[in-house]
Structure 1
Amino acid sequence: MGTGPAGNASARTGFTRIGVTGHRAIPVAALPSVRSGIRRQLSDGGVRAISSLAAGADQLFADIALDSGIPVTAVIPGMDHEAHLDDDAARSVYRRILSSCADRVDLPLEPTHEQAYFAAGRWIVDHCDLLVAVWDGRPARGLGGTGDVVAYAHRQGVPVAIMWPRGIERD
Structure 2
Amino acid sequence: MAVTGHRDLTGRSVPLVREALVALLGAYAGDGLTGVSCVAEGADALFADVVLDLGGRLVVVVPARDYREVQAEAGRAGEFDRLRRAAAEVVVMPYAKADGEAYAAANRELFRRADRLVAVWDGRPGNGRGGTADAVAEAGERGLPVEVVWPDGAARLG
- Note if 1:71 corresponds to 2:57: yes
Structure-2 residue corresponding to 1:27: 10
- Note if 1:158 corresponds to 2:144: yes
1:71-150 map, 5 Å: 71-85=57-71, 86-88=73-75, 90-109=76-95, 113-150=99-136
Q: Distance in 2 between matches of 1:120 and 1:146?
A: 12
CA shift, 1:116, in A, is 0.7
Work out the number of aligned pairs and report it: 153
Structure-2 residue corresponding to 1:37: 20
Q: Distance in 1 between matches of 2:5 and 2:39?
A: 11
- Find the residue that maps to 2:60 and give its secondary structure: strand
Q: Distance in 2 between matches of 1:112 and 1:103?
A: 20
CA contact (8 A) 2:65 2:92 kept: no
Once the two structures are overlaid, the 10-residue window that deviates more, 158-167 or 143-152, is 158-167
For the aligned residue pairs, the C-alpha RMSD in angstroms reads 1.7
Q: Distance in 1 between matches of 2:37 and 2:138?
A: 16
CA contact (8 A) 1:33 1:163 kept: no
- Note if 1:51 corresponds to 2:37: yes
- Runs in 1 of length 4+ with deviation above 6 angstroms? none
Q: Distance in 1 between matches of 2:22 and 2:153?
A: 21
CA contact (8 A) 1:73 1:104 kept: yes
CA contact (8 A) 2:48 2:58 kept: yes
CA contact (8 A) 2:20 2:151 kept: no
Q: Distance in 2 between matches of 1:41 and 1:169?
A: 19
CA contact (8 A) 2:36 2:58 kept: yes
Q: Distance in 2 between matches of 1:139 and 1:120?
A: 20
CA shift, 1:169, in A, is 4.0
CA contact (8 A) 1:79 1:116 kept: no
C-alpha distance after superposition, 1:47-86 (max 9, x if no partner)? 1110011111111111111122111001110241011125
**Amino acid in structure 2 at the alignment position of 1:87:** A
Q: Distance in 1 between matches of 2:97 and 2:87?
A: 27
List runs of 5+ in structure 1 lacking aligned partners.
1-17
Q: TM-score, normalised by structure 1?
A: 0.82
